[in-house]
């Protein structure tokens, strides 16, 4: 029996030497209810009364030793697992993060939204119209009959004889007036087209923002005041505006409107080409013919309209000297805005 107990101890220890042994399995095999040590102890009854306490003590020693070794191994395993977890779950706080690329709005869109905000703040709402337009709305309804010389400056792309890509946002005026009786107070931003060669200040596709106000008693003074508010909000409190006489077929009288140069304040610099003024838009009082054509009585109502290029305003705002930069989608360029 003594030999058997020693053998059990040896075997158990040998198994426990193995770093990867299954400690719980070994415990059951030797110390469990049906384990080897237990079955030896069951045989105690067969021993003589003198032998019994000696074997009992030895059995207890073996049990205690195996238990101690098991505890030691279990501890070591736990430490090993922790070590493993620490390595596999380690976070390198010095590692470079993944760059989150956040997109932003194109400078033209940014400026368009800013302009829209200013006009919405003055009570305008936004009206939209088709880019593929009838000759009628783009020209005829705006007092530009067939073969009128004003068509030359707005040559565009024709889809049929009657359908074209709109050369200006003004046809939206005609469409709105046809459907709505005054008071009217709208802006219509959008793409327009002209058959121009691409260069630093021309593109066959560009953007305009049109404005139209029609009501009783609207005067050129209202136009001036409203444009002044726009210019000050857009370009700065000190900005002044000036009107120069001009001709548009759909407004009478008509004017080209300049703002005082917001870089030099009017002294003359590179941006304003020494002028002190920068031309930003065309405007005027809606021609009675246009009101009449669109179903509004010019004896009762009057109105003003204005239109400006969003590219031009954007280039002025950001000091961009070549319009092509706005269409090339060069991320390095666009990132600056």
The contact set with ligand PHE (CB under 6 A) reads 168, 170, 210, 248, 251, 282-284, 305-307
| 193 versus 306: smaller Cβ distance to ligand PHE | 306
Closest CB 93 distance from ligand PHE, rounded Å: 58
Comparing CA positions, the residue from 191, 188, 192 lying closest to residue 156 is 192
Residue facing ligand PHE at closest CB distance: 307
> How far is residue 282's CA from residue 223's CA, in Å, rounded to a whole number?
11
Between 262 and 304, name the residue whose CB sits nearer to ligand PHE: 304
Shortest distance (Å) from residue 214 CB to ligand PHE: 13
Task: Give min distance, CB of 210 to ligand PHE, in A.
Answer: 6
- Give me the DSSP letters along 157-178: -BSSSSEEE-SSSTHHHHHHHH
Instruction: Tell me whether residue 301 or residue 306 sits nearer to ligand PHE (CB atom).
Output: 306
Q: Which residues contact 129 (CB under 8 A, 6 or more apart)?
A: 137, 166, 169, 171, 172, 175, 188, 190
For residue 156, the minimal CB distance to ligand PHE (Å) is 11
- On the CB side of 289, CA atoms within 13 Å amount to 13
**CB nearer ligand PHE, residue 253 or residue 268:** 253
| CB nearer ligand PHE, residue 35 or residue 307 | 307
E strand or H helix that includes residue 257: strand 251-260
Least separation in angstroms between residue 96's CB and ligand PHE is 51
């Amino acid at each position: 029996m003594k030999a058997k107990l020693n053998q059990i101890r040896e075997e158990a220890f040998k198994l426990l030497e193995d770093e990867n042994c299954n400690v719980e399995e070994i415990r059951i095999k030797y110390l469990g209810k049906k384990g080897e040590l237990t079955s030896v102890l069951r045989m105690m009854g067969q021993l003589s009364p003198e032998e019994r306490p000696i074997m009992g003590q030895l059995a207890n020693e073996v049990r205690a030793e195996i238990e101690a070794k098991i505890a030691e191994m279990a501890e070591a395993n736990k430490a090993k697992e922790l070590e493993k977890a620490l390595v596999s779950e380690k976070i390198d706080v010095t590692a470079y993060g993944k760059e989150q690329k956040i997109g932003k709005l194109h400078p033209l869109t940014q400026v368009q939204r800013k302009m829209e905000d200013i006009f919405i703040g003055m009570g305008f709402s936004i009206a939209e119209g088709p880019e593929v337009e009838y000759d009628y709305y783009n020209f005829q309804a705006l007092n530009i009959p067939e073969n009128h010389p004003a068509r030359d400056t707005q040559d565009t792309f024709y889809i049929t004889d009657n359908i074209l890509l709109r050369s200006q946002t003004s046809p939206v005026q005609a469409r709105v007036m046809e459907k709505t009786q005054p008071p009217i107070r709208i802006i219509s931003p959008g793409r327009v087209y002209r058959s121009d060669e691409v260069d630093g200040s021309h593109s066959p596709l560009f953007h305009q923002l049109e404005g139209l106000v029609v009501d009783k008693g609207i005067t050129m003074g209202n136009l001036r005041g409203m444009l002044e508010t726009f210019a000050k909000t857009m370009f700065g409190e000190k900005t002044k505006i000036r009107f120069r006489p001009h001709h548009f077929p759909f407004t009478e009288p008509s004017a080209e409107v300049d703002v005082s140069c917001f870089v030099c304040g009017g002294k003359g610099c590179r941006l304003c080409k020494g002028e002190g003024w920068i031309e930003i838009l065309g405007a005027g009082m809606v021609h009675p013919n246009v009101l009449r054509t669109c179903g509004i009585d010019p004896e009762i109502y009057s109105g003003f309209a204005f239109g400006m290029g969003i590219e031009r305003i954007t280039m002025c705002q950001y000091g961009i000297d070549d319009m092509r930069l706005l269409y090339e989608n060069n991320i390095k360029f666009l990132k600056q805005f």
